[in-house]
């Protein structure tokens, strides 16, 4: 299968792989440790490198490509809108934003949207909304609002977000940090109850921790958290930036437990990989704390982003991507769990967000990712010992079977 389809590139690049690497390294910051594949084209689940080699993308840009690379319908929306008007700023209105807001409300059940660009900005927006709600609605004394978060969280890389990270490296050298966050163990309902004070504004968490290693909380935890939050007048806000928009087999991961959050952050697949688009979605009550001038973004809610976002959401709905993720994910997880390998500690996940945790003696996940790359699969380690598998949700059953074969060969 891997060699069946020839390269899309008619003329291969004349620069060597090493030249691209040297260029990136010489003039770029050293804040990533990429696999040395130079991608120059992509379509659906496949990417091609500058040498014409083809790979199945099992990372999907950390779930930003749920719709697959270069989806034609989203591309059309981009091209069409880019010829009309791309940026108005929110100083003026545009003819795309209202429809986008409405669609976000329809898919989430939350009445109001505040669009931003990167995921981290959506999280920052959530934090600001939560705090202002605490002061204006709950009546917390000025500067006393607390937000409860979990160990092993990931919310992005701004100073305030890393202030509540429990990863040493994410904080190392970047202090001083933003106060107002309390950390409890992920999945621990009694710790949540014990951590709440009259100053607690919100419990903010990922329904499944993606960067943290595909960690699922105990069954029923989200529902318990909802009850505890309701009893204490504390907002429940989910970071669905990685888990949302179909990835885990539902539109949003909180739906697996029938929870109704007060707010969610989304990003990543909100554009199908074409453009940075994120949003904080919430209720009238919480979003109502924002008045003109309180918060904003030059590019947030621009007409190009809104048109792309609308098309990206339509693709998720029309192609029933959550349902595909549920079906193929269940199959893939059970097949992976049946692989006999001395290196596999545990296979876990939900939908097509899957982690293969390796044993401590396996020597780290990165070498296995390199071996997978040689077999035509792009996957990336998360933490030391976990291979994350998160292919585009448009993947077919036979492509899943091919991926499984390669993984079995590498891990056997
Ligand atoms: C990726 C991610 C973010 C940050 O998104 P960026 O677009 O990289 O800023 C926040 N939360 C979660 C759960 C994520 O996976």
Atom 15 of ligand 1: nearest residue by CA position: 242
Residue with tokens 């699969």: 377
- State the total domains in the chain: 1
State the Cα–Cα distance between residues 188 and 194, nearest whole angstrom: 10
- The residues annotated with a catalytic role in the active site are 154, 239, 268
Residues of the chain with pLDDT under 50: 1-6, 10
CA of 129 to the centre of ligand 1 (A): 18
Q: Report whether residue 244 contacts ligand 1, using a CB cutoff of 6 Å.
A: no
State the Cα–Cα distance between residues 38 and 47, nearest whole angstrom: 10
Choose among 245, 225, 266: nearest CA to 353.
Answer: 245
Q: Report whether residue 49 contacts ligand 1, using a CB cutoff of 6 Å.
A: no
CATH number of 235's domain: 3.40.640.10
Q: How far is CA 234 from the centre of its chain?
A: 25
State the Cα–Cα distance between residues 188 and 85, nearest whole angstrom: 48
210 in a domain, yes or no?
yes
CB atoms closer than 10 angstroms to residue 194: 10
10 in a domain, yes or no?
no
Which residues have a Cβ under 8 Å from the Cβ of 335 and sit 6 or more positions away? Answer: 404
DSSP code of 216? P
372 in a domain, yes or no?
no
Atom 10 of ligand 1: nearest residue by CA position: 155
Q: Report whether residue 210 contacts ligand 1, using a CB cutoff of 6 Å.
A: yes
CB atoms closer than 10 angstroms to residue 298: 11
State the Cα–Cα distance between residues 271 and 276, nearest whole angstrom: 7
| pLDDT attached to residue 15 | 87
DSSP E strands: which ranges in 50-111?
A: 54-57
Do residues 20 and 50 touch, judged by C-beta distance below 8 A? Answer: yes
Q: Report whether residue 242 contacts ligand 1, using a CB cutoff of 6 Å.
A: yes
275 in a domain, yes or no?
yes
Atom 5 of ligand 1: nearest residue by CA position: 119
> Could you read off the pLDDT of 191-246 as tens digits, one per residue?
999 999 999 999 999 999 999 999 999 999 999 999 999 999 999 999 999 999 99
204 in a domain, yes or no?
yes
CA of 267 to the centre of ligand 1 (A): 7
Report the predicted TM-score, pTM, of the whole model to 2 decimal places.
0.96
Six token digits for residue 380: 């990336």
Q: Report whether residue 241 contacts ligand 1, using a CB cutoff of 6 Å.
A: yes
Q: How far is CA 135 from the centre of its chain?
A: 30
49 in a domain, yes or no?
no
Do residues 133 and 199 touch, judged by C-beta distance below 8 A? Answer: no
| pLDDT attached to residue 5 | 47
What is the β-pairing status of strands 181-184 and 146-150? parallel
Choose among 66, 81, 83: nearest CA to 306.
Answer: 81
What is the β-pairing status of strands 146-150 and 200-205? parallel
Six token digits for residue 44: 């659906």
| pLDDT attached to residue 12 | 58
CA of 65 to the centre of ligand 1 (A): 13
Domain extent for 249 = 72-318
311 in a domain, yes or no?
yes
134 in a domain, yes or no?
yes
């Amino acid at each position: 299968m891997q060699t069946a389809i020839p390269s899309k590139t008619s003329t291969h690049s004349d620069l060597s792989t090493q030249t691209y690497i040297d260029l990136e390294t010489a003039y770029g910051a050293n804040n990533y440790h990429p696999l040395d594949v130079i991608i120059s084209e992509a379509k659906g689940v496949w990417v091609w490198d500058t040498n014409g080699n083809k790979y199945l993308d099992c990372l999907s840009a950390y779930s930003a490509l749920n719709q697959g690379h270069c989806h034609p319908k989203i591309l059309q929306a981009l091209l069409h809108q880019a010829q009309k008007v791309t940026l108005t700023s929110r100083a003026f209105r545009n003819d795309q934003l209202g429809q986008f807001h409405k669609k976000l409300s329809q898919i989430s059940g939350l009445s109001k949207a505040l669009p931003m660009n990167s995921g981290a900005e959506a999280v920052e927006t959530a934090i600001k909304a939560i705090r202002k709600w605490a002061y204006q609605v709950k009546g917390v004394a000025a500067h006393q609002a607390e937000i409860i978060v979990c160990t092993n969280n990931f919310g992005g890389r701004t100073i305030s977000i890393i202030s509540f990270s429990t990863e040493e490296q994410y904080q190392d050298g970047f202090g001083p940090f933003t106060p107002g966050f309390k950390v409890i163990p992920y999945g621990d309902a009694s710790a949540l109850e014990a951590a709440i004070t009259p100053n607690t504004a919100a419990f903010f968490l990922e329904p499944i921790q993606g960067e943290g290693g595909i960690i699922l909380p105990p069954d029923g935890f989200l529902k318990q958290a909802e009850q505890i939050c309701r009893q204490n007048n504390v907002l429940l806000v989910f970071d669905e930036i990685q888990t949302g928009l179909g990835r885990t087999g539902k539109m949003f991961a909180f739906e697996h437990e029938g929870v109704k959050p007060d707010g969610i952050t989304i990003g990543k697949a909100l554009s199908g990989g074409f453009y940075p688009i994120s949003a904080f979605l919430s209720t009238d009550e919480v979003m109502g704390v924002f008045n003109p001038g309180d918060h904003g973004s030059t590019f947030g809610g621009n007409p190009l982003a809104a048109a792309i976002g609308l098309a990206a959401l339509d693709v998720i709905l029309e192609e029933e991507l959550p349902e595909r993720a549920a079906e193929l994910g269940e199959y893939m997880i059970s097949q992976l769990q049946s692989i006999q390998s001395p290196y596999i500690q545990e296979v876990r996940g939900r939908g097509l967000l899957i982690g293969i945790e390796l044993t401590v003696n396996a020597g780290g996940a990165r070498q296995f990712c390199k071996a997978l790359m040689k077999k035509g699969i792009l996957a990336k380690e998360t933490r030391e010992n976990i291979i994350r598998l998160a292919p585009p949700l448009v993947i077919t059953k036979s492509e899943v079977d091919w991926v499984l074969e390669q993984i079995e060969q590498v891990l056997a």
